[in-house]
């Protein structure tokens, strides 16, 4: 069923790039949007059928979950880059070693996360100020959720392998199938068996297990170096070192981003419940725009990885330009759409005119220039794709995270308005993308023009 043929993978080192990038990115985009819709369905089921306390419990653990999980999810970026690079350079043995190392560390990392989540759930939630009437349900939800970390990590790492060779459709199919199972089980566990947050968490890990089984089965059925042999499962130390070198900075960056968002959210909370509700609704709308643009960060990481392996640096530049074009196109069009039809979109979350007005303020300041975030992400992906991971991590943490915290403590403290708080985002995007672009130019000029011959630079 899952036997791999040529049409399921993609040679990113040959052929027209405009259509190839879009063909690669669209399934990832749909996967992200579907995940957002399924998460929204989880929230709706809990809110409607399990009560406000259960809803608050589920909603209060998102930032905690992201901060803990992001570190290991970042390692899958290293897997993606290495598989793409070794595929481009036709180093089949290293591709195979990367695949088998990735599977082992995903399971081991998942088991470690299970222990950490189970032990640290209550103290961390207490540290975050989780209310007394919510914390018991929140702890139960987190602990059950973290029992499924091995299968969640396994899916993410194996899906990274598939995407690195251009197979973005099957992760979409698997996620869709698992998402439907998740929604159905939510309804059964919460409505029929009255399991509240435990039912939602259990439905989540069962659906994740289904997607993990499907993606592992697909790797076991593939031809070539990405074929997964269970008897070859072992860690290759040099490969692990490269995965950590590339992936760990990406994970640290994601974790720190979560921390900076907590600081921003605490400032939003100072404006009261109406603004909090409007900001939350607008943020949910913005998540869909971000998912659309972020797929082109993943695209340039894979395209740059394969082409640096194939020693085709000029194709990396062309791929980057194409990804920038699509990121800006989707960011501008969806950002404009969200503002033009913002009131109608926000009314799906609340009928209160005050909440809608507060949400519109965020949409105008945040979503119209959101394409700047798309440019920033593509430049980050390009640097990671050519093997530089610590540099974009440092620049992103300083330019986006530290800058926003500094802005809250200085500019926002002097002008405590919602507009002033939200404008910190586009300013930070502009600063960060400018620095990323500068460093990419310097690296390109100093490294690639020296490393590759004139003939190789001219080759397309």
Say how many Å lie between the first and final Cα of the chain, rounded.
36
Pair 246, 113: CB distance under 8 Å: no
Which pLDDT value is given to residue 202?
93
- Residue 231: DSSP 8-state: G
Alpha-carbon distances, residue 22 vs 27, 165, 173 (angstroms): 9, 15, 18
pTM value surpassing 0.75: yes
Q: What gap in Å lies between CA 64 and CA 56, rounded to an integer?
A: 14
The tokens of 109 are what? 């990392």
Q: What gap in Å lies between CA 418 and CA 415, rounded to an integer?
A: 9
Which pLDDT value is given to residue 5?
45
Pair 143, 121: CB distance under 8 Å: yes
Calculate the CA dihedral of residues 405, 410, 413, 415 and round it to 10 degrees.
-110
Q: What gap in Å lies between CA 285 and CA 357, rounded to an integer?
A: 14
Which pLDDT value is given to residue 58?
67
Pair 253, 395: CB distance under 8 Å: no
Residue burial 360-385, b: 16+ Cβ < 10 Å; e: rest: bbbbbbbbbbbbbbbbbbbbbbbbbb
The ranges of the chain with pLDDT < 70 are 1-9, 40, 42-44, 47-48, 51-64, 67, 128-131, 262, 265, 269, 273, 448-460
- Residue whose pair of structure tokens reads 């180093």 in the numeric block: 91
Domain extents in the chain: 12-458
What confidence tens digit (pLDDT) does each residue in 98-145 have? 999 999 999 999 999 999 888 988 887 777 666 677 788 888 988 998
CA 435 from chain center: how many Å? 22
- Please count the other Cβ atoms lying within 10 Å of the Cβ belonging to residue 295: 28
């Amino acid at each position: 069923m899952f036997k791999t043929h040529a049409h399921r993978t993609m040679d990113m080192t040959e052929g027209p790039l405009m259509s190839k990038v879009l063909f690669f990115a669209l399934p990832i985009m749909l996967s992200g949007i579907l995940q957002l819709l399924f998460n929204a369905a989880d929230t709706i089921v809990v809110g409607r059928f399990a009560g406000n306390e259960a809803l608050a419990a589920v909603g209060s653990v998102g930032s905690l979950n992201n901060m803990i999980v992001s570190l290991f999810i970042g390692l899958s970026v290293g897997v993606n880059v290495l598989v793409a690079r070794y595929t481009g350079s036709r180093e089949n043995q290293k591709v195979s070693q990367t695949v088998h190392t990735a599977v082992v560390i995903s399971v081991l990392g998942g088991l470690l996360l299970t222990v950490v989540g189970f032990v640290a759930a209550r103290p961390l939630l207490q540290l975050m100020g989780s209310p007394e009437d919510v914390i018991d349900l929140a702890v139960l939800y987190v602990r059950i959720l973290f029992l499924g970390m091995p299968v969640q990590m396994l899916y993410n790492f194996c899906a990274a392998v598939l995407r690195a060779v251009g197979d973005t459709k099957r992760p979409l199919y698997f996620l869709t199938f698992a998402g439907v199972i998740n929604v159905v089980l939510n309804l059964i566990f919460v409505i029929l068996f009255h399991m509240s947050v435990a039912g939602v968490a259990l439905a989540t890990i069962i659906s994740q297990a289904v997607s993990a089984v499907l993606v592992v089965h697909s790797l076991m059925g593939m031809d070539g170096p990405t074929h997964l042999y269970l008897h070859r499962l072992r860690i290759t130390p040099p490969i692990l070192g490269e995965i950590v070198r590339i992936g760990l900075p990406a994970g640290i960056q994601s974790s720190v981003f979560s921390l900076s968002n907590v600081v921003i959210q605490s400032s939003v909370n100072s404006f009261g419940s109406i603004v909090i509700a409007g900001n939350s609704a607008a943020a949910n709308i913005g998540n869909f725009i971000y998912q659309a643009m972020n797929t082109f960060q993943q695209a340039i990481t894979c395209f740059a990885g394969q082409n640096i392996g194939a020693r085709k640096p000029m194709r990396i530049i062309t791929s980057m330009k194409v990804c920038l074009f699509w990121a800006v196109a989707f960011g501008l069009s969806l950002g404009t759409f969200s503002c033009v039809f913002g009131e109608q979109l926000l009314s799906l979350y609340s009928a209160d005119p005050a909440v809608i007005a507060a949400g519109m303020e965020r949409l105008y300041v945040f979503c119209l220039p959101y394409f700047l975030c798309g440019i920033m992400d593509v430049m980050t992906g390009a640097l990671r794709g050519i093997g530089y991971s610590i540099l974009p991590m440092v620049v992103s943490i300083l330019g986006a995270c530290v800058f926003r915290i500094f802005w809250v403590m200085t500019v926002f403290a002097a002008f405590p308005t919602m507009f002033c708080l939200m404008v910190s985002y586009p300013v930070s995007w502009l600063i960060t993308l400018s620095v990323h672009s500068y460093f990419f130019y310097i690296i390109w000029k100093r490294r690639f023009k020296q490393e590759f011959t004139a003939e190789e630079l001219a080759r397309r």
